[in-house]
Amino acid sequence: MATQRWATRSLSLVGRRMQSTASRMAPGQSFAPQAAPLVRMRSAAILSQTVQLTWEDETIAHFHHTWLRDHCPQSVHPVSHQREIALSSIRPGIVPSGVSVDDGQSLLVKWHASVDPTGADHQSVFDGEWLRRHAYSSEGSARVVDEEDALVVQWGAGGRALPEPIDWASLACGGSDAESALLQLLSSVHAYGVGRVSGMPLTMEATEQLARMIAPVHETFYGGMWDTAPREESQVIDTAYTNVELPLHTDGTYFEQQPGLQLFNCVAQPPPAGGLDGSTRLADGFALAAKLAAEAPKTFEFFSRVVLPFEHREGAVHMRCLGQVFKLHPLTRKVVEVRWNETDRGPINTLSFDDMGQFYDHVRKLQAAIDSLELKLQLKPGDALICNNHRVMHGRRGFVGHRRLLGCYLQADDWRSRWRVLRGRQ
């Protein structure tokens, strides 16, 4: 089916771009936004349906008249930036009464009182760089190339190492230096899906302090801040609270919104015993999707299409969510989220008979690909690990003895907002 080929093709395209990005980004390399050189506007002309804009590098873009009035920077609330003009008040076929380029950097668009929704003469003033970033009429428009995605770097077992840890002292010192350190940490989480902190105090207070530097703690039925130390059998609401091996998974597959970030601060790690070292297992879900799209496209398409049930049911809690393993962006068809936990998969009654007949073969291919990408990380007390739970699967090897990770969940929207605001201040 066209959709399937499109999904596969777009991902392999994305995969290639990510690979090319990977070759450019070295671990720890600054992710601060590189200000692109200013390209000045040369001219603007009113055409029948659009305003044609030309920049000095010969780039040409067309913006529909209604788009321009709808996106007028002067028609939003000065603080909340919310639109103050209802789309329904912009008459169909509205045409500007004049356009001009001011000093190569601003586009001035005039609207006559007889057509403007305000009933008065109105002037929209657009920044040329903003228009260039939001141009939608050219092949390289923002619709296809998302600047944040271009910073994403895939990794795998044999591939590049994970980013270097950032020292706790540089985060806890406060001021602009701490903000720069936090930006580097969150930029690493954005690029790799993983951020690391070294020299962490072995306390819940410091763990919570680190979390709250990023975002509010996300409360679930596990509580807010939590401790993975093994519990009495009767209190094991999840096998994370035991010493058994945990397969690579994302947390909260049974929530509509999987937790955005998972923060682990290692405060105790026993020595290896009997071949069990309690090491942390990691795998990049984006690399997994790219690998399957390239090597087992039918399996990739299957797990991008079929909807699986995930469930957590114990005591006074019954969570259930239906979802694909690979959630694709509705427009770009890029993988935006991975949802997989073998141990929390519910009884499958959501597949057609034919799909069910294929499921176990595809699962074996999925698991083999996950295993091939697994990276091992031995946390020691004072090491904190932050995982993008929408992308990176985590797990652990079994252990013997006293092992404790303190941590919490943070919401995806919250940490990404914090990262964008810190980037914007650079």
Ligand X SMILES: C[N+](C)(C)CCCC[C@H](N)C(=O)O
Closest approach, Cβ 390 to ligand X, in A, equals 13
* Lookup: tokens for 364: 């074996």
* Lookup: tokens for 290: 């790219």
Measured distance between the N- and C-terminal CA atoms of the chain, rounded to whole angstroms: 45
Among 116, 251, 301, 383, binds ligand AKG (CB under 6 A): 251
**Is residue 208 part of the contact set for ligand X (CB under 6 A)?**
no
Query: Apex CA 260: angle with CA 230 and CA 281, to 5°?
Result: 50
How far apart (Å, rounded) are the C-alpha atoms in residues 304 and 298?
Answer: 10
**Is residue 389 part of the contact set for ligand X (CB under 6 A)?**
no
Among 291, 312, 396, 416, binds ligand AKG (CB under 6 A): 396
Binding range to ligand AKG, per CB under 6 A, among 86-94, 119-127, 208-216, 392-400: 392-400
Which residues within the stretch 220-249 sit at the binding site for ligand X (CB under 6 A)? 222, 226, 228, 238, 240, 249
- Per the CB < 8 A criterion, the answer to whether 169 and 40 are in contact is no
Could you say which of ligand X, ligand AKG, none residue 187 binds, taking C-beta under 5 to 8 angstroms by partner kind?
none
Angle between helix axes 204-214 and 175-192 (nearest 10 degrees) is: 80
365 vs 404, beta carbon nearer ligand AKG:
404
- Per the CB < 8 A criterion, the answer to whether 209 and 52 are in contact is no
Query: Apex CA 282: angle with CA 278 and CA 283, to 5°?
Result: 155
**Is residue 240 part of the contact set for ligand AKG (CB under 6 A)?**
yes
**Is residue 285 part of the contact set for ligand AKG (CB under 6 A)?**
no
**Is residue 344 part of the contact set for ligand AKG (CB under 6 A)?**
no
The residue type at 147:
E
230 vs 346, beta carbon nearer ligand AKG:
230
Could you say which of ligand AKG, ligand X, none residue 344 binds, taking C-beta under 5 to 8 angstroms by partner kind?
ligand X
Among 8, 184, 207, 228, binds ligand AKG (CB under 6 A): 228
**Is residue 395 part of the contact set for ligand AKG (CB under 6 A)?**
yes
E strand or H helix at 205, and its extent? helix 204-214
Among 405, 410, 412, 422, binds ligand AKG (CB under 6 A): 405
Task: Quote the radius of gyration of the chain (alpha carbons, Å).
Answer: 25
126 vs 264, beta carbon nearer ligand X:
264
**Is residue 251 part of the contact set for ligand X (CB under 6 A)?**
yes
**Is residue 344 part of the contact set for ligand X (CB under 6 A)?**
yes
Q: How far is CA 168 from CA 14, 213, 322, in A?
A: 34, 12, 39
Residues touching ligand X: how many (CB under 6 A)? 10
- Per the CB < 8 A criterion, the answer to whether 369 and 291 are in contact is yes
Query: Apex CA 175: angle with CA 174 and CA 181, to 5°?
Result: 75
- Per the CB < 8 A criterion, the answer to whether 372 and 156 are in contact is yes
Closest approach, Cβ 250 to ligand X, in A, equals 7
Hey, is 155 helix, strand or coil?
Answer: coil
Residue carrying structure tokens 């694909």: 324
**Is residue 301 part of the contact set for ligand X (CB under 6 A)?**
no
249 vs 362, beta carbon nearer ligand X:
249
Residue carrying structure tokens 């699967």: 393
Binding range to ligand AKG, per CB under 6 A, among 184-192, 296-304, 388-396, 415-423: 388-396
Given the rule CB under 6 A, which residues bind ligand X?
Answer: 222, 226, 228, 238, 240, 249, 251-252, 341, 344
Given the rule CB under 6 A, which residues bind ligand AKG?
Answer: 228, 240, 246, 251, 280, 394-396, 405
